Amino acid sequence: MLIIAGTGQGKTTLTARLVDYRKRNIVFGTKKADSTYQDFIDRGFKRVQSIDEISHFDKRVLLWPEYRTTIREFKLRQAHEFKRAFDWAAGLGSWTIWNDEELYMCRHLGLTDEVAWVLTQARSSGLTMINGSQRPAWIPLESYNGSTHAFLANSNEAADAKRLADLGAVNSKELIYNMQRLKRYEYVYVNTRTHAQPVIIKVDDERRSLRG
């Protein structure tokens, strides 16, 4: 699954709503501080600093390392802990990884290989990944080829339209036209494996709900 939305479009809120449909979830918290992560905690997620704190009985986990003394140290710790989590989940299978900041994970933490591997090699073991990004232009091609479902918020960038052509069963020109007409908190939902008509949904930010 792929979720593309800019800041303030409700991407993390949408993610928090969708976790109820999965049995075993691990969310990667990349930001130093973010009030929307409280949504996950309110839904029964256990915050941990590393996979060493996860027990056999945990089914909802928020892997959210604390900020260290410098930005560089913080990023090094994040890269270490998230890489371990990818390997851990790949070994177990049957988990859903929620990666809310795919661009940051790949470009800044250097974990493109791990993201691409899960998207292309792990489906048969029951491992699923949901990726979120602010822009579609700078994330791995595997995110499009390996995603059955896509939620896309408003965009007016020509580069975005070109990149969205990689979704496959979607008319990119028509798609970008619909995306340009979206209001805040609205998304176009696309099933990339069918030719079904895209559907517009809205994330109600005040009531924290989805409306079709």
Between residues 162 and 92, the one the model is more confident about: 92
Q: Which of 17-21, 49-53, 87-91, 112-116 has the lowest mean pLDDT?
A: 17-21
Structural tokens at position 205: 């930010």
User: Greater confidence, 120 or 77?
Assistant: 77
- Among 180, 197, 200, 178, which residue's Cα sits nearest to residue 189? 200
Q: Which region among 43-52, 77-86, 159-168 has the lowest average model confidence (pLDDT)? A: 159-168
pLDDT at 92 over 70: yes
13 falls in which pLDDT band (50, 70, 90)? confident
Domains defined along the chain, listed by start: 2-211 (3.40.50.300)
What mean pLDDT, rounded, does the chain reach?
84
CA-CA distance, 62 to 40, in Å (whole number)?
7
Residues 6+ apart with CB under 8 A from 173: 161
Predicted confidence (pLDDT) per residue in 106-137, tens digit? 999 999 999 999 988 887 888 999 998 887 76
